[in-house]
Chain A
């Protein structure tokens, strides 16, 4: 079964510091996508960053970057220069399968607190 594990239920970081959220996944697929979603308190979930498994280069979106280790099946999210608005639940997700037959599995989330 395809599973996604976020081993840190909660994390905290000081404003302006850097924090890394962990995610591991279990798969026998070679072609898949990985995502990090952010769900702020009482606000809509948004896509933060995505990574295609066949790309070796780590994805980056402004202050957000990933460390994708395909052999280790690890996909961590690094948030640099943390801001108060980064406080949210972060979900790691894994997608496999083609076309409309894709499957999408989420981790249970990591609650990030940003301290001023």
Chain B
């Protein structure tokens, strides 16, 4: 079974632009979570989607948004990029009802110049 995939793997943007990242979960997994990883703050939870609905949300500004499609693929969007948004963005999927094991993707490395 294929693992979680994320595209693109690397991205360079400039301040003020917006960006969309994509995540395809493991087949059969309907839950997708997004995380931001930075050296200073570590790993922080952004939000989780299940069946096309946001079910859980971390403490990030409204510039960070997401959505999930009927095939469980998810996208994350960051508008009006700031230098501090430079990070590794990870997504993770899990089986329905199993809150204690997530499978992570390789991440998208976003650099904001």
Could you tell me which A residues sit within 8 Å of B by CB distance? 33, 35, 37, 42-47, 50, 91, 93, 95, 99-109
Taking a contact as CB atoms closer than 8 A, the residue among A47, A100, A106 that contacts B50 in the complex is A100
Q: In the complex, A62 Cα to B54 Cα: how many Å?
A: 37
Interface SS of chain A: strand
Could you tell me which B residues sit within 8 Å of A by CB distance? 3-4, 41-45, 48, 50, 55-56, 90, 92, 99-102, 104-107
Are B102's CB and A100's CB within 8 A?
Answer: no
> Do A95 and B99 form a contact, CB below 8 Å, given A44-B3, A109-B42?
yes
Chain A residues within 8 Å of B48, by CB: 100
Are A44's CB and B56's CB within 8 A?
Answer: no
Are A44's CB and B42's CB within 8 A?
Answer: no
Chain B residues within 8 Å of A91, by CB: 42-43
Chain B residues within 8 Å of A43, by CB: 106
Work out how many contacts link A and B, with CB atoms closer than 8 A.
44
Are A107's CB and B102's CB within 8 A?
Answer: no
Q: In the complex, A91 Cα to B43 Cα: how many Å?
A: 9
Q: In the complex, A104 Cα to B33 Cα: how many Å?
A: 11
**Most chain A beta carbons < 10 A, residue from B3, B42, B55:** B42
Chain A residues within 8 Å of B102, by CB: 47
Q: In the complex, A47 Cα to B4 Cα: how many Å?
A: 14
What are the 9 tightest A-B residue pairs by CB atom distance, in nearest-first order? A108-B42, A106-B43, A45-B104, A100-B55, A44-B104, A44-B106, A104-B45, A106-B42, A102-B99
Besides A42-B106, A45-B90, A100-B56, 17 new A-B residue pairs in contact (Cβ under 8 A), listed by A number: A43-B106, A44-B104, A44-B107, A45-B104, A46-B104, A47-B101, A50-B100, A91-B42, A93-B43, A95-B99, A99-B99, A100-B48, A100-B50, A101-B56, A102-B99, A104-B45, A105-B45
Chain A residues within 8 Å of B41, by CB: 108
Chain B residues within 8 Å of A104, by CB: 45
- Which chain B residue shows the least CB distance to A43? B106
